[in-house]
Amino acid sequence: MIKYYTRACNFYYGLDSIEKIKKKLSLPLNANKLISFDNIEIINKKYKKKIHISEVNKQSNKIKKKIKKDIKLITKKKKFKGLNFLNFPILMGVINLTPDSFSDGGRYNKKNSGFNHARNLIKRGSKILDIGGESTRPGAKSVNKITEWKRINKTLKKISKLNTFISLDTRKSWIMEKGIKNKVNLINDISCFEYDENTLNVLKKNKIPFVIHHMQGTPENMQKNPNYKNVLLDIYDFFENKIKKLRSLGIKHNNIILDPGIGFGKNLKHNITLINNISIFHSLGFPIMLGISRKKFIKDLSGKNDSKERLGGTISSSLYAMTQGIQILRVHDVNEVNQSIKVFKALNFK
């Protein structure tokens, strides 16, 4: 049986979007008039075909039914405990309290530097703080739970008093439970709850929001010849199957975020394919998070023009993701990315 996938495409932004919606020439993404689309790309393993929204009723019954079902999910307003996606994208600021993270290891794990960094991220526009004590860069090895907790303990407890939305980046159920006691709002496990089998019990017991993150392999081996039949559709299927599994285990709430895991078991071609077609995941009905900040694909594309910080590539890919309706961007350089978003939005309303 042929499986079909749908991807919202041909987006409009700002005043263009508002005018298109008013004339019924486009449909709002997530009930937000500031971004809309007028084409659906129907995809299967063998072909792609773009269909204008005015042509949907002319398709075969099977394809018409599929498109209409997915359009309901794509256009529906996203409700999420503690977050408002109408003013998107929301910026998730990174707080790495590790000595060996790929871009800022060791910068914020001494004395009050992590807490001070958290306050600066909030001041510069971060609505979510993602705190972690274990590096998951390519080649990184796991650290024991005691070491990981010692790295984040004091900073997390201080941050919990700032009245901000806190994400906990960990693969360990023991750390998750301690984090939840310290007012963590979101669990961000890059292994998608495969590393520690008890993590699913923690999710079920606490009914806490979480990220479904895709990774092929483990941090130690994920970049050793990653392979997919079709990276875009394989990851879509992964999300769909994981959601079904979680539902079967009794985890019924909809406070779920999808992250395709750029750089986590993907080569350059995989990463570019995902970013180019990122709007396909809107048809799953959950908000999408993208972590493109300072990633290696920026170096691969810019070559000799690469810099250590990779700020230019982070900004350009962030703006591209925003115009595809991505709700959350996980970034290190919050001030600079936030500035670029403000300017982009202003230019689209002139």
Q: What is the pLDDT of residue 105?
A: 45
Residue 211 resides in a domain: yes
When pLDDT is cut at 50, 70 and 90, the band that residue 326 belongs to is: very high
Q: Which of 75, 100, 135 is the last residue of a domain?
A: 75
For 257-286, what is each residue's pLDDT tens digit? 999 999 999 999 999 999 999 999 999 999
Average pLDDT of the residues in 241-270: 97
Q: Which of 49, 75, 101 is the last residue of a domain?
A: 75
Q: Mean pLDDT over all residues of the chain?
A: 93
Within a domain: 149 = yes
134's CB contacts (< 8 A; 6+ apart) are 98, 140, 142, 143, 148, 151, 169, 170, 171
pTM: 0.94
Q: Both tokens of residue 162?
A: 């700032």
Residue 216 confidence (pLDDT) above 50? yes
The pLDDT-based confidence of 219 (bands split at 50, 70, 90) is confident
Count of the separate structural domains present in the chain:
2
User: What value does the mean pLDDT take over residues 61-71?
Assistant: 96
In a domain, 256, yes or no: yes
Residues 71 and 96 in one domain: no
pLDDT tier for residue 332 given thresholds of 50, 70 and 90: very high
**pLDDT at residue 139, as a whole number:** 80
144 and 274 assigned to the same domain: yes
**Per-residue pLDDT at 180:** 98
For residue 215, the enclosing domain spans 90-347
pLDDT for 104 beyond 80: no
- How confident is the model at residue 47, as a pLDDT? 87
101 part of a folded domain = yes
Nearest partner of 6 among 57, 50, 56, 40, judged by Cα: 40
Residues marked active site are found at 295, 330
The percentage of residues in the chain with a pLDDT greater than 90, rounded to a whole number, is 85
- In tens, the pLDDT along 109-167 reads 556 788 999 999 999 999 999 999 998 888 888 899 999 999 999 999 999 999 899 99
Structural domain ending residue among the three candidates 47, 75, 103 = 75
Res. 305: pLDDT tops 90 = no
Distance of CA 202 to the CA centre of its chain: 22
Q: How many CB atoms sit inside 10 A of residue 38's CB?
A: 17
Q: Is residue 94 part of a domain?
A: yes
pLDDT tens, residue by residue, 125-138: 999 999 999 988 88
For residue 190, name the pLDDT band (cuts at 50, 70, 90). very high
pLDDT-derived band at 107, boundaries 50, 70, 90:
low
For residues 166 and 52, membership in a common domain is answered with no
Alpha-carbon span 163 to 203, nearest angstrom: 22
102: tokens are 């790929």
